Chains A and B, each alone.
Chain A
Amino acid sequence: MIQVIRITLKGIFRDKVFQGIMMLAVLFAFIPLAASLSMRQVVELSITLSLSLVSFIMLVLAVFLGATSVWKDIDRRNAYSVLSLPVSRMSYMVGRFYGIALFMLFVSLVLGLVTAIVVGMSAGMYPPARPVVWSYIALALLFNALRSILLVAVAMLFSTVSTSFFLPVFGTTTVFIIGGVTQQVYDFIHTQAGAESLVPFARHLASIIYYVVPNLSSFDLKVNAIYAINPTLNGILLTLLYFAVYTTIVLSAGVLLFERREIK
């Protein structure tokens, strides 16, 4: 499996994915300037913009790396060469996943350092009224990375059943959008107004979607990082557990499907 992880990482760097991301990261240079337009919260705005940019880059990475890795192997018959190694299909899938996950963590670390520089610059120029809590920023970046890794697992699940590149890409994007709002919908259907305005069938359907689609809003700790608001330990631990369990389910479902798939 370690061999697959190594091959995956090598492949990602060979495809110049990292250099591509660094091109997007040029946008970081404009953040201090854009943030200085704020009237009362320059540092807060520069944290907001930095974390949002990181979140966007990580989303694009998760969708494309997750969606293309298995699909490309099958399409270009690479799976043969990789699978000709003495590894099981399970080791192949899990190895690919770990490889991408490691790369995501690495990118997150690099972008986190860039964020620290940008926020540090803003804080130096315009000292904030409320001190920046770096550990909350690090936590927000870590949970953003975990969210992206979860999306990688979802994208890989899609690509085990798909013969095309589009289903994994659009499927994962849809999961991302729905996963971000299910909590709001769930909260709404449990209010008086929600109970009155929706038929029981719609409410049940919404509940089912809530439990099936990953709940991504719990991974969003941006507000805590931006405004230095204490995150709850309970919430952090539960989200970590949720991440571990959900990713395992998606990944093992992916392995099961991939083992049944015929590769010609």
Chain B
Amino acid sequence: MSSLRRPGLVLLAALILYSVTISPFTDYMRRKPVEEKLGYLPTLKVIRVMAADQKEVMGASLIMKVLMYFGGITMKQQEKIIAEPPDYVMMSRVIHGALQLDPYNMDGYYFAQAFLVWDAHQVAIANNLLDYGMKYRTWDWSLPFFAGFNSAYFLKDYAKAAEYFKRAGELSGSPLYINLTGRYLQESGKTGLAIGYLKTMIATSRNDTARKSFEIRLKAFEGVRIIEMACDRFREKEGRIPSSVAELLASGFLQALPLDPYGGQFYLEPDGKVATTSKFAFAGAKNEKRQNSGESHERH
């Protein structure tokens, strides 16, 4: 009898101990520092050997890790919980590593375009990555479409943008992308174009984090567009640039001040350009390290 009771007691005690331990254990795992969560990436040669015949899975899991990590932080920011700013350098490094393991993985390029461009201002790096991807995904129109948008909108390299859009147009069979370039040349057209681009991204997005991020940006750009249109009407009527958003409101050209979804306030720059105090980013996500000196600093 006792021989049966003893293992039973040990099992019971172990189960009780487990239920006591599991909570602090889970807590410890959740609070692990970012570097530990994203993991230190060994050199690519080592990963290649370790991955054996599972390079594609390894690549996909690295991208998924970055996505989960970034999704967790943006979720906190949207809920106005103070969170550490995301470690973009580390994210970029992991994505690069993953795409070297599987250069065909579309999630990697999409992630680079969706987050590294807007939030981390790594436009030139993203375009390099897209150029690399185009060598492999030769059938995919979205890579030159992304690169074209980056070239025109951020880097203001219209010749290069036209080249990318031409390729996107040829691959997709749609003339839409070829028409895009010309519209960048005017400031007011630029906002309209960004809105068009974001709407395309939202329509083709099926990931919540990505879609949310695009929707918020779209809302901000729609706000800008409303003020820009009021500005244009003001200039037509008064023959000068309005001095402030308040003047637009007072003179009735603007019915109500649009809300900046990033929590900032829209204002007019001396040359009449619409800007916002949030710089189109959540406060926590401010990026001090601007990696890309060649990029535009307005309306990111």
Query: A residues bordering B, Cβ < 8 Å?
Result: 37-42, 44-45, 48-49, 52, 55-56, 126, 130, 176-177, 180-181, 184, 216-217, 220, 222-223, 226-227, 229
B106 adjacent to A222 (CB under 8 Å) = no
Bound CA–CA A41/B140 (angstroms): 12
Least CB separation from B136: chain A residue: A227
A40 adjacent to B107 (CB under 8 Å) = yes
A227 adjacent to B104 (CB under 8 Å) = yes
B49 adjacent to A181 (CB under 8 Å) = yes
Bound CA–CA A220/B107 (angstroms): 22
Pick 8 A–B contacts, CB within 8 A, sort by A.
Answer: A38-B107, A39-B67, A39-B205, A177-B49, A181-B48, A220-B53, A222-B56, A226-B104
Least CB separation from A126: chain B residue: B206
Contacts known (A38-B60, A39-B206, A222-B56); A184 close to B104, Cβ less than 8 A: no
Contacts known (A39-B110, A41-B106, A44-B106); A55 close to B53, Cβ less than 8 A: yes
Partner of B105 from A41, A126, A217 at Cβ < 8 Å? A41
**Closest CB of chain A to B57's CB: distance in Å?**
5
Bound CA–CA A46/B233 (angstroms): 53
Bound CA–CA A48/B104 (angstroms): 12
Partner of B54 from A37, A52, A216, A227 at Cβ < 8 Å? A52
Bound CA–CA A250/B205 (angstroms): 51
List of A residues within 8 angstroms of B207 by Cβ: 38-40
Bound CA–CA A39/B205 (angstroms): 7
Q: A-B contact count, CB below 8 Å? A: 64
List of B residues within 8 angstroms of A41 by Cβ: 105-107
List of B residues within 8 angstroms of A220 by Cβ: 53
List of A residues within 8 angstroms of B111 by Cβ: 39
A223 adjacent to B104 (CB under 8 Å) = yes
Q: Does B40 contact A (CB under 8 A)?
A: no
B56 adjacent to A226 (CB under 8 Å) = yes
B106 adjacent to A40 (CB under 8 Å) = yes
Q: Does B285 contact A (CB under 8 A)?
A: no
Least CB separation from B103: chain A residue: A223
**Closest CB of chain B to A206's CB: distance in Å?**
14
Least CB separation from B105: chain A residue: A41
Query: B residues bordering A, Cβ < 8 Å?
Result: 48-49, 52-54, 56-57, 60, 64, 67, 102, 104-107, 110-111, 114, 137, 139, 205-207, 210
List of A residues within 8 angstroms of B110 by Cβ: 39-40
**Closest CB of chain B to A57's CB: distance in Å?**
13
B67 adjacent to A48 (CB under 8 Å) = no
List of B residues within 8 angstroms of A222 by Cβ: 53, 56
Bound CA–CA A177/B53 (angstroms): 9
Bound CA–CA A66/B158 (angstroms): 62
B48 adjacent to A184 (CB under 8 Å) = yes
Bound CA–CA A56/B60 (angstroms): 17
A39 adjacent to B210 (CB under 8 Å) = yes
A48 adjacent to B57 (CB under 8 Å) = yes
Least CB separation from B110: chain A residue: A40
List of A residues within 8 angstroms of B56 by Cβ: 48, 52, 222-223, 226
Least CB separation from A59: chain B residue: B53
Least CB separation from B104: chain A residue: A227
Bound CA–CA A220/B51 (angstroms): 13
A216 adjacent to B205 (CB under 8 Å) = no
Least CB separation from B102: chain A residue: A223
List of B residues within 8 angstroms of A48 by Cβ: 56-57, 60
B57, B64, B114 — most chain A CB neighbours (10 Å): B57
List of A residues within 8 angstroms of B53 by Cβ: 55, 180, 216-217, 220, 222
Contacts known (A39-B205, A39-B207); A177 close to B52, Cβ less than 8 A: yes
List of B residues within 8 angstroms of A42 by Cβ: 206
A49 adjacent to B48 (CB under 8 Å) = no
Least CB separation from A180: chain B residue: B52
Other contacts beyond A45-B107, A49-B57: 12, CB < 8 A:
A39-B67, A40-B107, A42-B206, A44-B105, A44-B106, A48-B60, A52-B57, A126-B206, A181-B49, A184-B48, A223-B102, A226-B56
